[in-house]
Each structure stands twice: as structure tokens, then as C-alpha cells.
């Protein structure tokens, strides 16, 4: 869909997802790394556990489809070359500390003089302005300052983040959406602009419900492990079963009564329905249930779940249309029949490693475009010749010279 557009991707791990999304939508994304490679190539896990900037699975995960070149933008020749690239580009994405690029003469106002249509998208921990703009950020800081951690984890232990970086891919996705909104303004007016993404703010939207409860009654939600605790309600969302856990919530009314009735009927066939038997789930309103009552039902359900595996429960849930899902591990996700049937995975070729690695094939199906993974993440400087030589017309000698001087 975005086949006609070129993106220069100067980001580190904070912004990789933005270019990945644009590339899956069809854009030509050129990853610009410093000579020697993006330092984030040193983040693991690594292929076969061999720490090597060409073997980072973290890099492989978020840089598929991109063509990679190297360029030292701290040298004046490097800056000239970047400007040359910008004249032929539609988007520039970056995640340097605020002010860094302006200091090199490569900020939005400087690049827009060369190419007034350029859209520059900056992804930073707290945004380009404000009292914390120069604060150092990382995923943990974003999850803490965005309000996520305070409501996550067991009450008797410190608050937790999700064990894998979440704020970066969220910020990358929101940055892709913001860049394309700016793109539609460019279609209307012919003008580019600067898109300023705050990673902290991306996380704030995740705690949407906490904000609703704060706005309604100044209630401060707290963490409760596998449960959520709000007002009177103290409800489990995560339920241990025989071989893992389930995602399920006790709910009455239109959303939950059918599930509870089907579940109770099933439990009854094993004489385990206990205090759930004969209840009127249609009129059940969990916001009016005491903690003691919900604890009793919870105990009955936990006893039953402990006798059944998550697959057994999921198959019954599918058969009876119950709102219950198994808690999957990465292994189970990879083996999940639904994703297999939808051709969600691709065996991506890694010629340098002489292997293929199974990866997600893209995030959408579109009737007019094949939104997919076309190539694996680039090696360091893999496309230098193609882009500097064939596209910008540098001679072999010029290329050799640039390499010798450490500019590419």
C-alpha cells in the first residue's frame, strides 16, 4: 500500500517497530546505522547463544524488510550524505536524545529546508519538550512513569513490568500511526512536519481503566497479582489449572452468564459445581458482590480447574462458546492451530547463518496488498553498495574512500 514511499530509519531499539510496520505496509525502509552497527545489535537473545552483533535475535525480530546502510552522521561528510538521502525520502524516523540531531545540523527545521515535504518522527522517552525531556529513559522507566507498574504484580512484592520490553513496540506503533496522520496532512497541503512521540505517554493509554476510575471517584487502583481490584470488586483474571493457567473472569449478565452457566453444567457432571449450582447468572452484578462471596466461587472454580488441563478446558470452551482462553507460552503460540491455519508464520531465510528461522509473517491481511516479510534483517552495511552506488551514483573509488575514512 505504501510502495511509493521511502523511510530513513535512524532509530535504535526504542523506535524499530515504527519502520517495521511501515515496511509491512509496503514502504521502502532504509535502516541507517553507525559504522560498526547499531549498538542495540548487542542486545540478546542471540542465535545459538553466540553474542555477536550479526546474531542478535532482538535485532532480527524488529528489522525485517529493512535495507541497512552504515553512515557516521557525526562527520561533516556523513551529514552531507544524509542530507542527500533526505532529498529522496518521505519519512525520517529517529530516537536520539532531544536536540542531538539539531546539534549536528540535521534537526527537523534543517532537514525541512532541504526537503519541505519531509516528515520527521522522533521517538523519545518523554518527548521533545518539558521538564523531563532530557531524562534518561528505558522500558522499565516508561512502565513506571506511565503508571503501568503500580497496578501490576503481587501486592506483597515490588511492582513489576512485563518481562519483555513493551513500551518500545507500543511507541513504534503509535509513531507509525502519527507519521501517517502527518502524511495525510502532506497530501492536503504539500507540507511535511515534525511528529514528537513520548514513550511515557504511550504507556499512559495502557492504564485507561485506572484513569476512568480516578476520574469517576478519585480511586487509586492497586496491584493484586492475578486479580484486579477496583471498588468493591476483587476479581481473578488469571486462573491456575492442572498444567498452567487460564484467562477468565467471573461476569454475570449478557457478557458472562452464558459462560458461567455452561461451565457450571460441565462442573456438575463431575459433581463439582458446589455453590455455583442453581445461581441466576443473568442478574449477577459483580460490582455488588462481596469479596467473601467471590472468594467462595473462586475456590470452587479453582478446584475444578486444577483437575483439567488448559487444552481440555479450551476445547470445551470453544465447543460451548465460553469466554475462556488458555495462557500460552511462546512455544504454544508457535504451535497454535489457528495461527498455523492462517499462515501467520514464515520460515525466513538467513543466508549468512545458512538457516531459516520461523517468524511472524506480518500483522494484517489486506485485499489489495500482500503485507508480509520480504527479507530478513540486514547485516551491517549490507546495502551500502546498492544504495550509495546504484541509487546515489557513488563510484567504487568514492565508496572505498568513504569506507577507509570510517564514514560508512
C-alpha to C-alpha distances, 347 to 141, 316, 382, nearest whole angstrom = 35, 32, 21
Q: Does 338 bind other proteins (CB under 8 A)?
A: yes
* Residues in a beta bridge with 227: 224, 236
Cα separation of 255 and 239, whole Å?
Answer: 19
Is residue 70 within 8 Å of 37, Cβ to Cβ?
yes
Cα separation of 183 and 164, whole Å?
Answer: 31
In this chain, which of 9, 28, 94, 196 binds other proteins, going by CB under 8 A?
196
In this chain, which of 82, 85, 111, 207 binds other proteins, going by CB under 8 A?
207
Is residue 198 within 8 Å of 126, Cβ to Cβ?
yes
Q: Does 89 bind other proteins (CB under 8 A)?
A: no
Cα separation of 147 and 74, whole Å?
Answer: 36
Q: Does 312 bind other proteins (CB under 8 A)?
A: no
The mark string for 166-195 relative to other proteins (x by CB under 8 A, - otherwise) is: x--xxx-xxxxxx-xxxxxx-xxx-x-xxx
| 202 vs 408, beta carbon nearer other proteins | 202
Q: Which 369-398 residues touch other proteins, going by CB under 8 A? A: 369, 371
Q: What angle do CA 21, 328, 139 make, to 5 degrees?
A: 50
In this chain, which of 111, 141, 260, 273 binds other proteins, going by CB under 8 A?
141
In this chain, which of 114, 364, 392, 400 binds other proteins, going by CB under 8 A?
364
Q: Which 109-138 residues touch other proteins, going by CB under 8 A? A: 121, 126-133, 135-138
Edge-to-edge strand order for the sheet containing 222-224? 222-224, 227-230, 233-236
Shortest distance in whole angstroms from residue 81 CB to other proteins: 25
In this chain, which of 87, 114, 275, 333 binds other proteins, going by CB under 8 A?
333
Whether a cis peptide bond, with omega within 30° of 0, leads into 45 is yes
Q: Does 65 bind other proteins (CB under 8 A)?
A: no
Q: Does 292 bind other proteins (CB under 8 A)?
A: no
Shortest distance in whole angstroms from residue 362 CB to other proteins: 8
Q: Does 307 bind other proteins (CB under 8 A)?
A: no
Amino acid at each position: 500500500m505504501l510502495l511509493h514511499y521511502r523511510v530513513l530509519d535512524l532509530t535504535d531499539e526504542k523506535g524499530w517497530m515504527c519502520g517495521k510496520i511501515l515496511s509491512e505496509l509496503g514502504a521502502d525502509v532504509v535502516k541507517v546505522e553507525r559504522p560498526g552497527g547499531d549498538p542495540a545489535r548487542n542486545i540478546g537473545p542471540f542465535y545459538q547463544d553466540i553474542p555477536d552483533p550479526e546474531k542478535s535475535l532482538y535485532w532480527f525480530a524488529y528489522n525485517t524488510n529493512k535495507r541497512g546502510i552504515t553512515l557516521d552522521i557525526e562527520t561533516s561528510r556523513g551529514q552531507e550524505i544524509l542530507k542527500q538521502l533526505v532529498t529522496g525520502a518521505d519519512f525520517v524516523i529517529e530516537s536520539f536524545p532531544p536536540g542531538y540531531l539539531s546539534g549536528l545540523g540535521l534537526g527537523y527545521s534543517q532537514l525541512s529546508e532541504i526537503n519541505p515535504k519531509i516528515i520527521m518522527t522522533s521517538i523519545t522517552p518523554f518527548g521533545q519538550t518539558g521538564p523531563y525531556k532530557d531524562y534518561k529513559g528505558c522500558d522499565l522507566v516508561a512502565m513506571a512513569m506511565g503508571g503501568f507498574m503500580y497496578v501490576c504484580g503481587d501486592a506483597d512484592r515490588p511492582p513489576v513490568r512485563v518481562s519483555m520490553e513493551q513500551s518500545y513496540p507500543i511507541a513504534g506503533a503509535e509513531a507509525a500511526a502519527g507519521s501517517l496522520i502527518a502524511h495525510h496532512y502532506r497530501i492536503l497541503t504539500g507540507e511535511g512536519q515534525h511528529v514528537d512521540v513520548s514513550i511515557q505517554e504511550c504507556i499512559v493509554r495502557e492504564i485507561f481503566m485506572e484513569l476512568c476510575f480516578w476520574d469517576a471517584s478519585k480511586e487509586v487502583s492497586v496491584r493484586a497479582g492475578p486479580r484486579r481490584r477496583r471498588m468493591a470488586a476483587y476479581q481473578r483474571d488469571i486462573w491456575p489449572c492442572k498444567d498452567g493457567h487460564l484467562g477468565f473472569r467471573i461476569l454475570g449478565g449478557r457478557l458472562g452468564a452464558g459462560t458461567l452457566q455452561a461451565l457450571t453444567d460441565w462442573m456438575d457432571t463431575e459433581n463439582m459445581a458446589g455453590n455455583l449450582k442453581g445461581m441466576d447468572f443473568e442478574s449477577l452484578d459483580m460490582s455488588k458482590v462481596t469479596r467473601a462471596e467471590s472468594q467462595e466461587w473462586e475456590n470452587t472454580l479453582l478446584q475444578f480447574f486444577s483437575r483439567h488441563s488448559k487444552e481440555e478446558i479450551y476445547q470445551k470452551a470453544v465447543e460451548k462458546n465460553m469466554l475462556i482462553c488458555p495462557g500460552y507460552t511462546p512455544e504454544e503460540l508457535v504451535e497454535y492451530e489457528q495461527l498455523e491455519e492462517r499462515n501467520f508464520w514464515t520460515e525466513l531465510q538467513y543466508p549468512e547463518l545458512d538457516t531459516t528461522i520461523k517468524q511472524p509473517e506480518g500483522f494484517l491481511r489486506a485485499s489489495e496488498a500482500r503485507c508480509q516479510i520480504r527479507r530478513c534483517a540486514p547485516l551491517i552495511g549490507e546495502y551500502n553498495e546498492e544504495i550509495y552506488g546504484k541509487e546515489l551514483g557513488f563510484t567504487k573509488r568514492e565508496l572505498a574512500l568513504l569506507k577507509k575514512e570510517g564514514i560508512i
